[in-house]
Amino acid sequence: MDIQFLGAAREVTGSCFLVRCGERQLLIDCGLIQGAAADEARNRAAFAFDPRAIDAVILTHAHLDHSGRLPLLVKAGFRGPVYTHRATRDLCQIMLKDAASLNEKDAEHENRRRLRRGKRPVEPLYTRTDAEKAMRQFQALDYGQERELLPGVRVRLQDAGHILGSAIVELWLTENGHRRKLVFSGDLGHAGAPILRNPESVREADLVVMESTYGDREHRSWDETLTELGEVFREARQSQGNILIPAFAIGRSQELLYFLKHHNREWGIDHWTVFLDSPMAIEATEVYGKHWKLFDAEAHRRRKKDGDPFAMPNLHFSRTPTQSMAINRVRGGAIIIAGSGMCDGGRIRHHLKHNLWREQCHVIFAGFQARGTLGRKIVDGAKTVKLWSETIRVGARIHTVGGLSAHAGQSGLLEWYRNFSSRPTVALVHGETEPMQTLAQYLEALRAPVLMPKPGERLNLLSSHSEIR
């Protein structure tokens, strides 16, 4: 009985953990590696295990750094079920199809270049057909439902409060009379966030595999964050330019629409034209509406009083490329919410090309920017950036609103761990080195045994948790 840390080990993306229990093997997550081109190239490498030998996958949530290699897994021979929350299944239907479509477009673009140079063509990482095949293997679970997946393997999902359908995984393993309980935090939500409930607490575990994305910092309070956003919108209105908001299609886009609606008059939003320029975000918003019973009490109250929590008379959904391109002719008075959230793809790059150099425009970064991404370069103060081989001056006002993060900050992570009745061993994952080391120090002050596994390391669950190799 052991666990092997194959992804999100001392890095933020590519979540993937292999659990062995007797003759059974299962994966927790199978995510894309995201960031610089060299990092993303690793997605094409063979899996560190035989996909045909995997009995099942448990998926914590729909974000691609947790789900994005599932079509590759199926393509490589995996034939078992993918267990996840039913809302995550619905979001993956959108996410994986979109990722596959981008893969096909990227390969098509690259192959035109290769053809001109006399080079051999490349294949997409995976296709829409591959994504559709993977979706056929999804099986839906609900929160709080305990289920035996395999002989000696039971699971229960709890609400992680990160995005719709995100889950904490409780996993019970039995082998030759030995029992162990593993808890995977997945991505833990930021307590007090709009729309969704706070992360559920768990009481018992032998090992906790815990994210550490913001292990070295706190987010601003929600009140301060909303005040900051309001100030940006009022300042931008005086500038008479546009506001660009690179936003993740799932979670962040819905939060932004929710805030814009419910602070409409206070922030002067009714004086703007709001564009949600992302077909995926539009579809995800519809999924959020379908699963409204997962909303928190405040969102329930507002939905009952004001109707659809995401609808506004000045909101326009830009579904087609033609509608998106038309926005580029708008010189002022537009709030443009577009993907991708880290500016490494999607329609936001076109809007940056038309607005980033303009001093009257504003860019609001409302989410984590991984190292190597275009968003991280802008946030770190780059004076110029490259877009399609063209150098663009950064003249717009750049705002980083960290309080909107969908991840728990340091105190949220520590508080979640404190809910365990004992002090189980913690394996920190899904974090860069400095945040992880800082969080480890605070956990050790709580008398928690802490591990920071390297990629590929295995932990024997039947002996001391200090035995990692």
Confidence (pLDDT) at 364: 95
For the chain, give every domain's residue range. 2-217+406-460, 222-404
- Specify the DSSP class assigned to residue 109: H
Nearest to 416 by CA among 117, 191, 218, 192: 191
pLDDT surpassing 60 at residue 121: yes
Tell me if 204 sits within 8 A of 420, measured CB to CB. Answer: yes
Element (DSSP H or E) covering residue 102:
helix 86-117
Strands 138-141, 147-150: pairing is unpaired
**Per-residue pLDDT band at 370 (split at 50, 70, 90):** confident
Give the pLDDT mean for 143-154.
97
Coil/strand/helix, residue 175: strand
Q: How many CB atoms lie within 10 A of CB 457?
A: 17
Coil/strand/helix, residue 398: strand
Cite the DSSP H helix spans in 263-385: 279-290, 297-306, 321-327, 348-355, 374-379
Say which residue the tokens 């969080």 belong to. Answer: 439
Whole-angstrom Cα distance, residue 316 to residue 333?
Answer: 13
Confidence (pLDDT) at 427: 98
Confidence (pLDDT) at 463: 81
How is 428-456 classified by DSSP, letter by letter? EESS-HHHHHHHHHHHHHTT--EE-PPTT
Tell me if 348 sits within 8 A of 355, measured CB to CB. Answer: no
- Specify the DSSP class assigned to residue 171: E
Whole-angstrom Cα distance, residue 15 to residue 3?
Answer: 13
Confidence (pLDDT) at 345: 85
Longest dimension (CA), the chain: 70
Give backbone dihedrals phi and psi of 182, rounded to 5 degrees, phi first.
Answer: -110, 140
pLDDT surpassing 90 at residue 35: no
Whole-angstrom Cα distance, residue 276 to residue 254?
Answer: 10
Whole-angstrom Cα distance, residue 172 to residue 323?
Answer: 50
Higher pLDDT among residues 371 and 209, named by residue: 209
2-217+406-460 maps to CATH 3.60.15.10: yes
Half-sphere exposure of 98 (CA within 13 A, CB side): 24
Whole-angstrom Cα distance, residue 169 to residue 156?
Answer: 6
pLDDT surpassing 80 at residue 468: no
Structure tokens of 169? 């995984």
Question: In Å, how far are 74, 98, 183, 211 from 81, measured between CA atoms?
Answer: 10, 22, 20, 25
pLDDT surpassing 90 at residue 202: yes
- Specify the DSSP class assigned to residue 47: P
What pTM was computed for the model?
0.91
Whole-angstrom Cα distance, residue 4 to residue 17?
Answer: 6
**Per-residue pLDDT band at 467 (split at 50, 70, 90):** low
Q: List CB contacts of 72: < 8 A, sequence separation 6 or more.
A: 30, 43, 47, 125, 126, 130
pLDDT surpassing 60 at residue 420: yes
Half-sphere exposure of 199 (CA within 13 A, CB side): 27
Confidence (pLDDT) at 369: 83
Confidence (pLDDT) at 311: 94
Confidence (pLDDT) at 464: 58
Nearest to 83 by CA among 126, 130, 143: 143
Q: What's the fold here for domain 222-404?
A: Rossmann fold (3.40.50)
Question: In Å, how far are 199, 249, 465 from 338, measured between CA atoms?
Answer: 27, 8, 44
Sheet of strand 153-159, all strands in order from the earlier edge strand to the far edge = 147-150, 153-159, 167-175, 178-184, 207-211, 425-429, 450-451
Q: Across the chain, what does the average pLDDT equal?
A: 95
Element (DSSP H or E) covering residue 172:
strand 167-175
Give the pLDDT mean for 334-360.
94
pLDDT, tens digit, 9 for 90 and up, residues 204-231: 999 999 999 999 999 989 999 999 999 9
Tell me if 335 sits within 8 A of 245, measured CB to CB. Answer: yes
